[in-house]
Structure 1
Amino acid sequence: MKTRRRLVYAGGIMLLLAGCGGDDNGDEATNGALQEPQGAEAPPPDEAEPPVAEVAPVDPLEVEVEASASLRPDRRLMVEGETNLPDGALLRIVVERELSGVRWQSRTSVQQGGFNAGPFGPGSGLPDGGYTINVLLTEANVQPAGVRERIGEQGQYLAGPLVQTSRHGLGQTIAYSHRLLIGSEPRRTSDRVEVLQVD
């Protein structure tokens, strides 16, 4: 009889212990991890974030170019000029004969505010007549990093009457033109033109 009471007593304790355990509805914390009480606010963000660096505005570059030419003894043309474009800026110099449209070109860069290129023309020398010298700034995407920093990634900091939109849609470039006449009997013209005579 005592043994039976002990079994009933032990069975009752086990039922009580089973009733105190968590149920399987997912409310119980897993692996002993503590759950945050609902409605708790997230901690404030770190107020010591580094300030965002401000980019200093870049002043527009009012581009100036001045070019001149000289005729070598072999009647080929040398071009030199001055500009306020940054050193290292890549230029393309094109000399075109007005009568035939034949062109000669050379690539150069700005050094200490100046540039030079040539000789231009065939080995037999340039015939008498009118010529146009074009100084063209190469598109910004192929310029050295220091030049792009001054003129802009799309040439957007270039300003002035020499500025034009790139034919290839690659931003802004500059184009400068200068006319000249070669020969001992230059034509009459009302345009501003440099006359180169053969000595």
Structure 2
Amino acid sequence: MVLGARMKRWQSVVLSVVLLAGCGNDDQPNSNADERLGGVAQPNTEVQDAGADEAKAFVQPVEFDISLRIDEAGRLVIEVSTNLPEGTRLRVMAERSASGVSWRDSQEVVEGAVSAGPFGPGSGLLEGEYRVRVMMPPVSVQPAAVRARLGDKGQHLTGEWVAESEHGLGQIVEAVWQVRIEPSGVEFLP
């Protein structure tokens, strides 16, 4: 009887091993191609759909249409329409010519426009001349979708407001207007 019990135990162990060995999942393809080795990320060799990641190059001159207004507190509000791609980061600045005091705002293009401000102290801006500037920082600091449209160094940018970056970072955009703030509103100067 003891010999029979040992045989049954031995048979049950062998049967279990055989059953477990046969429990592979034959429905899944061999996954060795996706295996990561040694805790080091391996390059992804999957071919991606080139059309999905390719953005249409920006092939038109940069355009700005600017509108300025003084709000009820006497501060300057700057609204800019542009054809730059959605998500482009812009810096908008207003500077008093007489003193050099300036106010800045950073915005992203949404539906072809940015609105910046209000600029100035709580008591309102003083009458006088101001410089209004709209700048696009280098493409290297723009979102990936914008970089794809403008080129890694901004090589797709053209137009009167496109300039070379001072630091060799490619092309940037900078538009400047001189204005005069008066009690009657804002007047553009030549």
TM over 0.5: yes
Is contact 2:93–2:132 with CA below 8 Å preserved after alignment?
Answer: yes
Which ranges in structure 2 are unaligned for 5 or more consecutive residues?
Answer: 1-49
User: Aligned residue for 2:72?
Assistant: 73
Compute the displacement of 1:73 (Å): 1.5
User: Aligned residue for 1:177?
Assistant: 176
Compute the displacement of 1:183 (Å): 1.6
3-state SS of 2:147 partner? helix
TM-score, scaled relative to structure 1: 0.63
Is contact 1:61–1:151 with CA below 8 Å preserved after alignment?
Answer: no
Is contact 1:164–1:174 with CA below 8 Å preserved after alignment?
Answer: yes
User: Aligned residue for 1:83?
Assistant: 82
Is contact 2:59–2:156 with CA below 8 Å preserved after alignment?
Answer: yes
Compute the displacement of 1:64 (Å): 0.4
User: Aligned residue for 1:105?
Assistant: 104
Root-mean-square deviation (CA, aligned residues, Å) is 2.7
3-state SS of 1:158 partner? coil
Is contact 1:128–1:181 with CA below 8 Å preserved after alignment?
Answer: yes
User: Aligned residue for 1:146?
Assistant: 145
In the comparison of the two structures, how many residue pairs are matched? 139
User: Aligned residue for 1:121?
Assistant: 120
Which moved further from structure 2: 95-104 or 175-184?
175-184
User: Aligned residue for 1:134?
Assistant: 133
Q: Report percent identity of matched pairs.
A: 41
Q: Find the aligned partners of 1:81 and 1:67 in 2 and give their Cα distance.
A: 4
User: Aligned residue for 1:159?
Assistant: 158
Which ranges in structure 1 are unaligned for 5 or more consecutive residues?
Answer: 1-52, 193-199
Question: What one-letter code is carried by the residue in structure 2 that aligns with 1:167?
Answer: E
Question: What one-letter code is carried by the residue in structure 2 that aligns with 1:124?
Answer: S
Larger radius of gyration: 1
User: Aligned residue for 2:38?
Assistant: none
Compute the displacement of 1:127 (Å): 0.4
57 and 137 in structure 1: CA distance in 2 versus 1, 3 angstrom threshold: closer
User: Aligned residue for 2:5?
Assistant: none
Is contact 2:58–2:157 with CA below 8 Å preserved after alignment?
Answer: no
Is contact 1:67–1:178 with CA below 8 Å preserved after alignment?
Answer: no
85 and 185 in structure 1: CA distance in 2 versus 1, 3 angstrom threshold: closer
Compute the displacement of 1:184 (Å): 3.2
172 and 73 in structure 1: CA distance in 2 versus 1, 3 angstrom threshold: same
146 and 129 in structure 1: CA distance in 2 versus 1, 3 angstrom threshold: same
164 and 180 in structure 1: CA distance in 2 versus 1, 3 angstrom threshold: same
Is contact 1:90–1:138 with CA below 8 Å preserved after alignment?
Answer: yes
57 and 114 in structure 1: CA distance in 2 versus 1, 3 angstrom threshold: closer
1:38-96 deviations in Å (ceiling 9; x for gaps): xxxxxxxxxxxxxxx8x999463310011111101211111101000000000000101
In the alignment, does 2:93 pair up with 1:94?
yes
Q: Find the aligned partners of 1:116 and 1:56 in 2 and give their Cα distance.
A: 26
Compute the displacement of 1:121 (Å): 0.8
Compute the displacement of 1:100 (Å): 1.1
